[in-house]
Structure formats: C-alpha cells, structure tokens
Structure 1
C-alpha cells in the first residue's frame, strides 16, 4: 500500500471513529472504500441475512450519498446471494474475493446475476469484502467495477482495509445500542447532547457503554478490536472528564446523568 493509500485509510478510520451519528458512517465509507480498492462509485453494505423475498438492498452512489434502494430485478438477484451465499457456507475463509474467483470467470460472466449487474449498474466485476467476524451468511461489502477486473493489488488493499472496517462496524453497533438504551422520556436532553456536555468522544461513549455492561478491559478490547492497554487509556479519559476515579463511580455518575440506562442492557 502506497503512502497515499495508507493516508486515505488512516483518514477514513479517524473520520469514522469521530463521527457521533451512526448513520453518517456509511456515506464516509462509501466515498473512500471504492477508491482504495479500485471499485467504481457503487457500494452495497450487507449487514443482515437476505432471502429471495426479503431484505432491503441499499446502494450508495455519488447521486445518493444517503443510500438508495435497488430496483426489484437487481435486488432479487442480489438477495439470492449468487455466488456469495454458497461460498460463505462452504468456507470459513473471510479474505476479500471476486465473483469471478468464486464462480469461475466464464460462469460468472454468463450468470443471470452478472447480466443484471451489467444492465442495472453498468458493471462487470464484483469484489466481496466480508467482515472478518462474519460467520454463516456473507456479511460485509460489495464493490463494483466496469471494464478491467479487480487486480491482486486491489485485493491486497481490501485485506488491509478489513480490520478498519471491522472496527467501524463494531463502533456503529455500540453507538446504535447506546442511543437506543439511553433515550427516555424523563431524560433532560438528547444522549449526544449529554455526552457533548462532558466532552466525550464517540470512542469514549463506546467504552462507557461496555463499562456499563461490567465488561473487563480485555473483553472490551475484544468487542472494540483494540488492545486492553488502549481501553485503559480511554477509561482514564472517562474518569478525568466525569470527575471520577474508578469503574463503579463512573457507571453510577453516568446513570445519574442519563449517559447510561438505569439498568445494564442484556449482552448480545
């Protein structure tokens, strides 16, 4: 990865981990990931199991930075999961891979799905970039490219990007959960406003959320994809900003200030 490409990955990680609003993460990713991995300005995030009849397929393009729904024909082809569904069931390998590698070049080109992708998006090639944690169904990102295929260099960049995307996904999950569990009718302000009053960063909010679940620093690190040492640095910042000196006092203060729910949420 060149210095310029590395800087792009670093900029993406920095911007994403400082974004307070979870739904604003995907336009950030959609703008940068295709450029880093050699895709066109098309991007699909798959975060749930699709069936042939159910599952919203949302496509990000420069013309729809908030994401737009794919039409019925292309959406049906994508939800059927060719060729990713069988591949995900057949192997535990979560390395980035192209549709041509999974199905075979000629088989992919002649497939109904490839035809619909050419018709709907004007693209010939698809790069699947799964999340490392994903098991069972393929969950991750689909990137599209017209003309020449994705190269070995594109796949290498995608592999290096995987841990960053995994960290962003973990952050998103925790921020969404935190927002849902801290909103209440008796709360004096929006959760984000209350966090801003204490100067908490989105990463510190995630650590605080896990602290409220009584997780150890090691367990927090696993959930966030960071080291226990980094978790302790975030805890030190939390103690300083909230005027506390230990875990218990911090959780009690956060609950009193409506930064954590009154009772701990059930761990997923």
Structure 2
C-alpha cells in the first residue's frame, strides 16, 4: 500500500535557500534509494512513490521505482513506471540506460503474456541503438530476445551462436547481468541440442555469476527459476534440489519479494513429494497456489495446479485431482501424463491409453516430453494388455536414459523393464531388473517409487512360488503406503495380499450405497453414477445424503478416503 503524504508538505517556502519541503523530498528520496540498495522492496516502493509527489524523479530513480514495483507484485505500476523511466532517460540523453530500461520492460511484458507490447518496446530499443553509434553492453542485451525465439522455435543451434555473441559482449564489458543471462541461454541451447553435459557446465557458470557477482534481482530470479527448470528437463534431480534450496534462501532474504517465490514453492513441493514428505508437499503447493492467485494471471499457477493434481491422484482423491488438472489446463499448462494416469487409477483404461498415445505422437521431436510420457505409456499399455507396445516404449525409454545419463531416468526405465518382463512371463529376469530399479530409487531417497517396485517384486516372487519373500515384500510396502497416505497403492497391496472382503459393509451402508460409494471413488458425477446404475440423479443425491452421516463425513473426498480405509475398493 502506498504511503500518502499530503501535498501541503511539498509546498516550497519562498526564501533565499531551499525550504523544508525540499528537505523532506530529499530525505524520502534518500531513504528510497537506501531501501532499494538493501533489497527492502516494499519500503523502496513506498518511499520512492512518495518522493515523486510534486518533484519529478530522474530516470535512474524511476527505474528503481519500476523494479521495486515489479518485485512487490505491482505489475501494472511497474510497466507504467518502466515506460516513464525510459522516456526520462531518453530526454536526459542517457540512451544506453534507456535501452536497458526498454529491454527489461519487454521482459516483464513477456512474462505477463503481453507479447505484442513487448515486441514493440524491444523494437524501440533496437531503433535507439541503430540511431546512436554507441559501443555499449546493451547491444548484448538486445541479442537475447532473438536467441530465445530461436530456442523456443526449435532451432537451438542458431540460439547457441547468438548467445555466444552475447557472452563475448558481456565478458568485454564485465556486466554481471548479461554474463549470467547469456550463459544461461547458451546452457539451455546446449541441453536442447542433446549436449546435456556441456549444457549443465554452462548453467553452473550462470549460477556462479548469480551467487558471487552483483547480479540485479530480476536477472537473478530469472536465472534461478530457468536453471531449476532446465535441471528438471534433463532429470538432474541433485542439481534441481541444490538450486531449489539456494532459491529458497534467496527468496527468504527478501520478505517482500512477490515474483519467483511461487515457483520456488512448487519446486519445493516436487522435491518433498519425491522424498515421501507428502503432507508437507501438499502444504507447499497450497501456499504456492494462494501466492500465485494474487494478483491473478501468473502463468506459473498452472504448474502449481498440476503438482497439486499429482499429489491428490496419488492420495486417491480423484475428484479433486481431476479438478486441479482442469484448472491447470485453463492456465495453459500441459496436464499429461497426469490425467492419463488418473484415468488408469479410475479403471478407465481405454481413455488412459488413448490419451497417452496422443501425447507420445505430439512429442515426437521433444525428448524431454517424450521421456516423461513413456513411463506412463508403458504402465498404461500393460494395464491394457498390450505387452508389445509396453516393451517398445520401454526400449525407447532406455535409449533416452542412456542419452541423458540421469539416475532418475535410469530408475524409471529399470522399473518399466521389470514390469514388462513380468507381464511377458519372465519373473526371474523381472526380479533382476526390479532389484536394480529398487536400488536406484533407494539411492534417490524416493520411498513411494521404491515401494511400488517392491509390489512388482512380490508378484514376481509369487510366480516363482517364493511366497515367503512375496509376503515380506508386501508387509514392508504396506507400512510405507500407510505412512504416505497412498490410498490406491494401499488398496492394491490389500488385493495382492488376498485379504478377504468384508461380509457386512461398514457403517451400516446398504448394498446400493456401497455401489454408489464405489463410483464416487472413481470421480464420477451424480449424472454419471445415475447412468451407470440406471437410476435417477435425485436417487443418487438421496443415497449420498443418507451415506455421509453414516460415514461421518461431509464431502466426496472424505467419503473416498473412507472407502479406501475400509477396503471397499
């Protein structure tokens, strides 16, 4: 909230020297500059806003105000102030600084999805440099948008060359922001070209510039977030975890910071999920959604909603998971293979198979997207009884794992291979592959994935008539799934353990209420339940009204949890 200062305080007293209003203006402007220097963004925004009451701020201070506005989430004010800063710097004859201001204005507009406006401001910056024969570092900055367009357009080689030109300019002028951004871009280009090792080395150089240099906050935030995303793309979980921890510390040092914090929370949630800290992961992603919703329109919200959907799916809250996926899709975020795996968990194998096949076809030239889809593809094809398709998918997954040489992807490939061998009637070979997969997941400290492998091992041991080992494996994973709250996986273990079904339904449910509850678990709507059971929607609603008090619950999600807890599914 802006600090409002009555205009009377700014009226100058006629005298031989500056009056008290001028002194107050100087004081608040100095305070704003000092707050900016120590990264106290809210204070800097309020103080610099107050300082522009009746005396126009020079271009440099307008630039500071624009940055403070952006970093506190006041995007509209940031865009308007960047524009004023640009014009003020041009009027002051500081063309190079005006160009840099135009560059950052373009970047901010792109982040908010205003690509046409961004293109206009970047073109204006280019025109200014074309009119002034200046040898300045800003020429390197203006190389970056074109290189990014080449990278996003599927031409990483062209992007690599242009980012190289920017690196030469950055090094010649010793500009920290351009040093970090140009190396980040070249690292991303190398990864896209399939040279993950060289790309990671360049990404590490970019991050080194951030952690040891005088990189501005907007540039630092961009590098942190882009680097973590790049590490996720190449399945380098160790680096992703390391830099997520660094980003968390960086955000914590700036309590007023609005951008980057939401994405940091999403990455933290993903890491917590992998480590088996599901309640903490759910809380982090809940915080991320709340943070990214205010103000609305942040594109990272789709990433947060997808992560929320993944956690809800694994916990068996299918209706809520589907809603999260739908909302993520509305934000423009890809929702596969998560939605396909949800359909598989709901027993809709045909829908799952159709979706995952389409995703693979669309990702023909995208190795990262294809790698993520292939693991789901193998699992879904096995559920559909198409062992040949699952085998082909696993073969390709192993090739990609060798290309990326990432422990995570090797673990995924070994799990898929073990499942295919088991389905193909080779339990001994399956045990070998699954033992390798379990070791990999254990080293990655991923308890859920490791436990899923042990379920497959239990099945293989049963086929080899080693029933003692099979039961021990199931006993071990039952405890893991209970701790995690992985209701669908726990139900599968109960099924494999041969636990007898209850003769009487719990909580006094009637047989028809049990049927309705089992369909609620799949995420079916009242209309879909009515169609399946050939009854009216009103009858479905009456059954639900009768059931909820019996179960002691007030929502479909809670009823779903009850059904899993009492082995009704």
Q: TM-score, normalised by structure 1?
A: 0.27
Higher helix share: 2
Q: Which structure's relative contact order is higher, taking Cα pairs within 8 Å and 6+ residues apart?
A: 1
TM-score (normalizing by structure 2): 0.16
Structure with the higher fraction of residues in strand conformation: 1
